[in-house]
């Protein structure tokens, strides 16, 4: 099985030992506590589940800056984006102390992790600007990722963590949320050797479904992991439970038995385009995938990134040998009226735009809201019904 990055074994930071878990929960009751951001909570969940192996906690400013500029920490460990615990202030917290980190996304703000404080630093405006421009390739505050990153404070608390729960993800999505540890175990149980992963934050229409079939066929994969983001999205995106139901229906009806797993992970979307594509590949290797599909404008938003920037970054910027996972590079897929099937548009010669069935997201939402299913060349009718029911409930 493919090895995790930077380690022979996964390094989940969740405390699985029951006695130790109970002891840490009791300790947390008497520790100084601080409310962390949704982004930091998502980072804790990802570290807890082993997705961010070999990180042991939140980065200090030097490591975060180094990662932003070179995709390596100061010690040379590859990582695509800064992983910070940024807060408004750290009054009453001292270096060397252990602190309880409280979850902003769960009622009652339970302790999600305990952190040993190695440093408390103020991030300068210049450092924030550098990290923003390197990771997001823009400083436009209309960009949802830029806005979120710059809204959580300038005090960085770094140091290792022990994770005590997975926030709301395993309670709200018990059938879908999986840690990297669990996905690796399921892959082994299936006996899969070549595994391709597909990232989604949206329901999967026919073109997405066929893209997965294409990747499996061309790569000779015996397994597909559909791995959906379960965390916070931008306004207007379809909620995770609706996406989950639509994707499960598609897999049930249109994939052979035991060929596809429907899973999800707990993290807030960054919308960081190319850098987020590298992060997506990073933690897919850690969960056991040997291949990862990256299509047109992967993890992008608006017009901030070129159509294939999320593919070329692997050639131009990712350090050589940093990852073993292989990228399956895809173009936009759509139904060809000439060929009567879904194709990659760059593989369809003698086609004009009007030879494809193309619908804008706005048009699809309008149709679904009116109770009208998109054409069968665009969406499976069973999937469309689930989405129609959702839009008509609004």
List the catalytic residue out of 202, 248, 329, 365.
202
Q: Give every CB contact of residue 268 below 8 A, 6+ residues apart in sequence.
A: 38, 39, 42, 148, 231, 232
- Helix (H, G, I), strand (E, B), or coil: what is residue 360? coil
Tally Cβ neighbours within 10 Å of residue 47: 25
Q: Are strands 291-294 and 326-329 parallel, antiparallel or unpaired?
A: parallel
- In this structure, the chain runs to a length of 394
Which residue reads 């329901």 in tokens? 203
Report helix, strand or coil for 363: helix
Do strands 356-357 and 333-336 pair parallel, antiparallel, or not at all (unpaired)?
antiparallel
Tell me how far apart the alpha carbons of residues 263 and 261 are, in angstroms, rounded to a whole number: 6
Q: What is the 3-state secondary structure (H, E, C) of 285-329?
A: HHCCCCEEEECCCCCCCCCCCCCCHHHHHHHHCCCCCCCCCEEEE
Q: Is 201 a catalytic residue?
A: yes
Tell me how far the alpha carbon of residue 352 is from its chain's centroid: 34
CA torsion sign, 381 to 383 to 386 to 387?
negative
Q: Whose CA is closest to 342, among 383, 381, 377? A: 377
Q: Is 202 among the residues known to form the active site?
A: yes
Catalytic choice (25, 109, 154, 201):
201
Q: Which two tokens stand for residue 340?
A: 């009567």
What are the angstrom distances between the C-alpha of 286 and each of 51, 55, 71, 249? 6, 12, 17, 27
**Residue bearing tokens 């309670």:** 171
Three-state SS string over 179-209 comes to: CHHHHHHHHHHHCCCCEEEEEECCCCCHHHH
Active-site residues: which are they?
201-202
């Amino acid at each position: 099985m493919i090895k995790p990055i930077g380690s022979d074994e996964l390094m989940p930071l969740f405390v699985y030992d029951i006695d130790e878990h109970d002891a840490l929960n009791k300790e947390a009751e008497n520790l100084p506590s601080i409310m962390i951001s949704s982004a930091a909570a998502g980072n804790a969940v990802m570290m807890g589940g082993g997705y961010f192996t070999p990180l042991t906690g939140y980065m200090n400013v030097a490591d975060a800056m180094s990662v932003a500029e070179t995709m390596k920490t100061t010690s040379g460990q590859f990582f695509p984006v800064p992983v910070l615990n940024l807060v408004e202030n750290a009054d009453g917290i001292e270096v060397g102390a252990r602190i309880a980190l409280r979850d902003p996304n769960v009622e009652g703000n339970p302790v999600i992790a305990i952190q040993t404080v190695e440093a408390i630093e103020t991030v300068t405006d210049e450092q924030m600007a550098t990290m923003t421009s390197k990771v997001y390739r823009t400083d436009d505050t209309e960009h949802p990722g830029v806005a979120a990153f710059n809204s959580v404070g300038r005090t960085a608390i770094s140091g290792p963590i022990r994770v005590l729960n997975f926030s709301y993800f395993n309670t709200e999505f018990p059938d879908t949320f999986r840690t990297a540890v669990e996905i690796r175990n399921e892959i082994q149980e299936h006996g899969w050797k070549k595994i391709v992963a597909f990232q989604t934050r949206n329901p999967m229409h026919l073109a997405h479904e066929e893209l997965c079939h294409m990747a499996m066929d061309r790569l000779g994969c015996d397994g597909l992991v559909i791995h959906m983001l379960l965390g916070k999205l931008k306004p207007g995106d379809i909620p995770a439970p609706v996406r989950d139901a639509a994707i499960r229906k598609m897999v049930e009806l249109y994939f052979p038995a035991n060929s596809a797993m429907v899973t999800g992970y707990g993290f807030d979307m960054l919308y960081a385009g190319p850098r987020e594509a590298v992060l997506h590949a990073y933690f897919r290797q850690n969960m056991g995938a040997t291949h990862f599909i990256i299509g047109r404008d992967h993890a992008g938003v608006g017009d901030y990134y070129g159509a294939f920037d999320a593919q070329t970054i692997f050639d131009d910027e990712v350090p050589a040998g940093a990852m073993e996972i292989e990228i399956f590079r895809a173009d936009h897929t759509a139904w060809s009226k000439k060929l009567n099937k879904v194709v990659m548009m760059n593989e369809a010669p003698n086609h004009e735009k009007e030879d494809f069935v193309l619908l804008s997201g706005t048009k699809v939402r309008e149709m679904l809201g009116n109770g009208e299913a998109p054409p069968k060349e665009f969406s499976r009718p069973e999937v469309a019904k689930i989405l129609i029911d959702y839009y008509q409930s609004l």
